[in-house]
Amino acid sequence: MPAVHRTILVVDVERYGSPVRSDSDRVAIRAGLYRALEDAFAKAALRWDDCDRLNSGDGVLVVVPPTVPKSAFVELLPGNLIAGLRRHNQRSGSTRQIRLRMALHAGEVRYDEHGVVGTAVNHAFRLIESHAFGSMFARSDGELGLVVSAWFFDNVVRHSDLGVPDAYRPLYAAVKETETTAWVRLWGGQATPPPVVTAPPRQLPPPSRHFVGRTAELDALASFVMAGDAQTVVITAIAGTAGIGKTTLATRWANAVRGRYPDGQLHVDLRGFDHRAELDPVQVLHGFLEALGVAASAMPGDLDGRSALYRGLLADRRMLVMLDNARSAEQIRPLLPNSPTCLVLITSRDRLDSLVVHEGAHRLSLDVLPEDDAARVLACHIAPDRIAAEPAAVADLVELCARLPLALSIVAARAANQPLLALSRLAGQLRDERDRLDTLDLGGHDLDFRAVVSWSYRRLSPKAARLFRLLGVHPGPDIDVLACTALLDDGRVRPLLTELTAAHLLEEHRPGRFRFHDLLRVYAQECAELQEPELEAVKVRILDHYVAAALVADCHVLPWREGVFRPAPSADTIPYLTGYHEAMAWLAEENATLLAIVDFAARTGFADHVGRLAWALNTFLNRTGQRHEREAVLRKALAVARDDDARLIALPALARALFRLGRHEEAQEMFDAAAAMVADRDDRDAKIRVLMGNADLYEDQKLHDKALECLRRMWSLVRELPNPMLHADTLCRIARQQSWLGSPAEALELAERSLDLYRGIDHRDGEAYACITLGCTYQALGEYERALEWFELALATDRELGVQYWEAEALIQIGDTHRLWGARDEAIAAWSEAASILDRLHHPEVLDVRAKLDGFATEVSS
């Protein structure tokens, strides 16, 4: 059948399917609807029976013959229909009330055995399904809302004197395949004027051409949307420090997904961290409402009114709202839609904890870029041949910019502006901390790293700002709460740390440990130099804290030192340690920081602090196999030693560290220098230190007769002293030399005496040392089973203490004994385990163990 032109009327009952209505209610509503329609048609002189009608459940499709005047549908029908609806509503309960949406269009339709079909029919249904029309009608209080197509408005409404064209307002409708402008009239009072929108807002800024990486973050953003609650608006907050790339990421992702939000995208820079004044939500809502078609004269003056209107306009619309550079949750809340069809994307330097807790926002915290992506940022601006010519300089630039996108972009732009500037020279400019932030300044407010960070710094409370400054003085890679308290000299430091981490000026990278990247540290140090009048006192507080803490830990690690018993500090002493293992764990946690503190004390002229720290760290560094670090610390202590007393402590300790590195000649020179210093001094303790160190050096070189000579001289100094530890140390060393010089029977008695002495003072290190000596003695006697028992006991003690080098030494001796006993597999297993430990320690003795394994394998194969 050919197409024919018809007027198309669609009516739809609002909230017909509401769960508060029963099926009986719906039957009554349908009866009331048809009664009102038939009566309205009759009073408008429109023949109901001449129209083709299709029941759609909650409404009716009416196709009107072409001979019926179209003007009657806007001039007469609405008033009569409203009267009929009111009569129904007056005699019906609340669950049977009718509010009616109506759509009018005209166009070609086709008929078949099932009814009518055609694009014009689809268009009429799309108009009545429009979210924008539905939300406008929902906010009105009349019984009827009418939406007419652009064609119907232009050809019928506009030319009708009785249809009141001025009462209609334009509306942009986007439903499925249909995007069109329609016209709306609402009868009765209405809570807000209808918006005047001809097209949805498209306010997103364009994405950056130089966006790199962030694949995991983009995936996370997508997952947040997929995981969103179908009943609530999806809110995603991208948080991070200044210059980390929050806006760039948000803009990139928002543009990628904007097709899912056809009703528009709103965007605003809230200026929360900016040289300009931050935007008030009232101002922002003015701009949003204007973009949504609300005339300025129709906007409420107060924040609550504007927020309510804004949320009403976004109800049921699919819109994306990007709130960039937000200061706080309070600034954001009035700008949040209340529709699950909307997405809110927020960026902020603040952590926005309140928004996460109360609104259920998904938070994505950005970190600095991986090294490869950071290098790609540079490559976006710098010519490929320059990048390829200086790969080492590129790596330096990446590190000196702390892998921070803003800093990398500024440096890359500086390099691009100066094509003849070598990248290595640019890296040299950044390497000098005094000039680093000047190099990261291209002149604009947003291209000056110092200025960009200052916007966060200025918003801190005075105490938090002071803590931030002082953290710039602290030299370590990170800091714990106790050190922060000492730094600020104020017990209430935790709220300040919370404020700094919330502002992303500090990161709690592990529970209770805080850090910031190097560029923030340089900025904080600048602020301290400008604003802290007593920096020297601050430095002293830092050093005093770490010296006292390291000495507390060392007392737990080595209660007996040089024959003196040091009782364990109280558990109430900072740091709060209760024994050996906690002390070793604390030293391991603070290892990098303590090494940085030693260097800081040496550079700033605090010689006494260097010496005391070196003394406190010596045992820990030795036990954990940090041989080169131990040497560096002791060398600094010797370099800053101010008198012979300090030098006589540092020299033997450094000499011992050097021969453990295999540098015997250099160690011997230092022992000789120390021996010359003590020759004319009445300093028995120093003489004992030098003799013991010399003996150990000779033993390490297998010069056992020389070692024994030193030890006999040492015994003459200690035997009359009431000092069980020095007695045990001397006797055990003498026993070792005797065993290796062919007198194991004599050695056995001395080794057993030393073990008893060590056990009597609960000196666990000494016990392990004596057990090793006893094992070597029984090995020399050919009693391999007894030897293994003592070596295994030493191994267990060393493992308990976490002394990795001596654990390896015990395993070597176990392997040697199994070899002598003919137990091939056991020897290989012990040597292999020892080699593994020495490999981890980067100890040269591993070569000897590998040689044992290789030699044994060759011997077996031959």
For 344, phi and psi rounded to 5 degrees?
Answer: -110, 125
Preceding peptide of 475 cis, ω within 30° = no
pLDDT for residue 311 is more than 90: no
Residue 197 pLDDT exceeds 80: no
Residue 643, SS3 per DSSP: coil
Mean pLDDT of the 297-302 span: 76
Q: If you average pLDDT over residues 196-211, what whole number do you get?
A: 81
Number of neighbouring beta carbons within 10 Å of residue 462 = 7
Position 189 scores a pLDDT of 55
Return the structure tokens found at 542.
Answer: 């830092």
Encode pLDDT of 217-264 as tens digits: 999 998 888 766 666 788 899 999 989 999 999 999 999 999 889 989
**Tokens found for residue 468:** 């931030």
> Is the distance from CB of 176 to CB of 126 less than 8 angstroms?
yes
pLDDT score at 55: 86
Secondary structure class of 55 (helix, strand, coil): strand
859 pLDDT exceeds 70? Answer: no
Backbone angles phi, psi at 694, to 5 degrees: -60, -40
Q: In this predicted structure, what is the pLDDT of residue 860?
A: 56
Please determine, for residue 367, whether its predicted confidence score (pLDDT) is greater than 60: yes
Alpha carbon of residue 321 to chain centroid? 24
Torsion of the alpha carbons at 464, 465, 466 and 468, rounded to the nearest 10? 90
Q: How far apart are CA 755 and CA 759, in angstroms?
A: 6
Which helix (H) or strand (E) element contains residue 772?
helix 764-780
First to last CA, the chain: 102
635-686 pLDDT, tens digit per residue, is 999 999 989 889 999 999 999 999 988 899 999 999 999 999 998 888 898 9
Q: What is the pLDDT of residues 444-496, one digit of tens each?
A: 777 888 888 998 999 999 999 999 999 999 999 999 999 999 998 777 899 99
Tell me the β-bridge partners of 238: 347, 364
Could you tell me how far CA 361 lies from the centroid of its own chain? 16
> DSSP label at 850?
H
Query: How high is the pLDDT of residue 371?
Result: 93
| Biggest CA-to-CA distance, the chain | 133
Q: Which of 704, 780, 701, 710 is closest to 745 using CA atoms? A: 780
State residue 117 phi and psi, 5-degree precision: -150, 150
Q: Beta strand 362-365 with 265-269: parallel, antiparallel or unpaired? A: unpaired
Handedness of CA 429, 431, 433, 437 (dihedral sign): positive
When pLDDT is averaged across residues 595-606 and rounded to a whole number, the result is 94
Does the pLDDT of residue 193 top 60, yes or no?
no
Identify whether the C-beta of residue 516 lies closer than 8 Å to the C-beta of residue 507.
yes
Pairing of strands 144-149, 513-515: unpaired
Give the pLDDT confidence score for residue 597 in this predicted structure: 96
- Work out whether strand 59-64 and strand 479-480 pair parallel, antiparallel, or are unpaired: unpaired
The three-state (H, E, C) secondary structure of 774-843, written as one string: HHHHHHHCCCHHHHHHHHHHHHHHHHHHCCHHHHHHHHHHHHHHHHHHCCHHHHHHHHHHHHHHHHHCCC
307 with 334: CB under 8 angstroms? Answer: yes
Check whether 99 has a pLDDT greater than 70. yes
Residue with tokens 């009952």: 13
Residue 632 CB: number of other CB atoms within 10 A? 19
Please give the average per-residue pLDDT across 340-365, as a whole number. Answer: 91
* Amino acid letter, 593: T
CA dihedral (31, 33, 35, 38) in degrees, to 10, reads -140
Distance CA 487, CA 468 (A): 10
39 closest CA partner among 79, 81, 96, 9: 81
* Number of alpha carbons in the 13 Å side-chain half-sphere of residue 239: 25
Query: Which amino acid, residue 721?
Result: L
Per this entry, what is the length of the chain?
862
The string over 697-725, giving b where at least 16 C-beta atoms fall within 10 Å of a residue's C-beta and e elsewhere, is bbbeeebbeebbbbbeebbeebeeeebbb
Query: Would you say residue 838 has pLDDT above 70?
Result: yes
Burial pattern 423-454, b for ≥16 Cβ within 10 A else e, equals beebbebbeeeeebbebbeeeeeebbbbebbb
**Which residues fall within 8 angstroms of residue 28, CB to CB, at 6 or more apart?**
92, 96
Summarize pLDDT for 54-72 with one digit per residue, the tens: 887 788 999 999 889 999 9
10 Å CB burial of residue 48 (0-12, 13-18, 19+) is: middle
Neighbouring-strand partners of residue 100: 13, 144
pLDDT at 348 over 90: yes
Distances (CA, A) of 594 to 478, 609, 618, 659: 10, 12, 12, 24
Beta-carbon contacts of residue 679 (< 8 Å; ≥ 6 apart): none
CB count within 10 Å of CB 825 equals 8
Instruction: Place 441 in a pLDDT band, splitting at 50, 70 and 90.
Output: confident
CA distance 720 to 743: 25
Q: What would the pLDDT profile of 691-722 be if each residue is shown by its tens digit?
A: 999 999 999 999 999 999 999 999 999 998 88
What pLDDT shows up at residue 227? 67
Among residues 206, 189, 207, 95, the alpha carbon closest in space to that of 143 is found at 189
Task: Check whether 416 has a pLDDT greater than 80.
Answer: yes
pLDDT digits (tens, 9 = 90+) for 78-96: 999 999 999 999 999 888 9
Model pLDDT, residue 90: 92
Coil, helix or strand at residue 367: coil
Sequence-separated (6 or more) residues with CB below 8 Å from residue 271? 277, 278, 279, 325, 327
SS3 389: helix
For 67-91, give the DSSP string. Answer: TS-TTHHHHTHHHHHHHHHHHHHHT
> How many C-beta atoms surround the C-beta of residue 371 within 10 A?
13
Alpha helix locations (H) across 360-461?
A: 371-379, 384-389, 391-400, 405-417, 423-431, 433-439, 449-457
CA separation for the pair 816, 824 (Å, rounded) = 10
249 Cβ contact partners less than 8 Å away, ≥ 6 residues apart: 211, 214, 217, 218, 238, 366
Return the CA Rg of the chain: 42
Distances (CA, A) of 232 to 302, 317, 363, 525, 767: 25, 13, 16, 45, 67
User: What is the structure's pLDDT at 192?
Assistant: 44
Q: Classify strands 144-149 and 100-112 as parallel, antiparallel or unpaired.
A: parallel
Dig out the tokens for 670 from the structure. 């230092």
Min mean pLDDT across 34-48, 316-330, 841-855 is at: 841-855
Residue 680, SS3? coil
When comparing pLDDT for 135 and 258, which is higher? 258
**pLDDT reported for residue 857:** 66
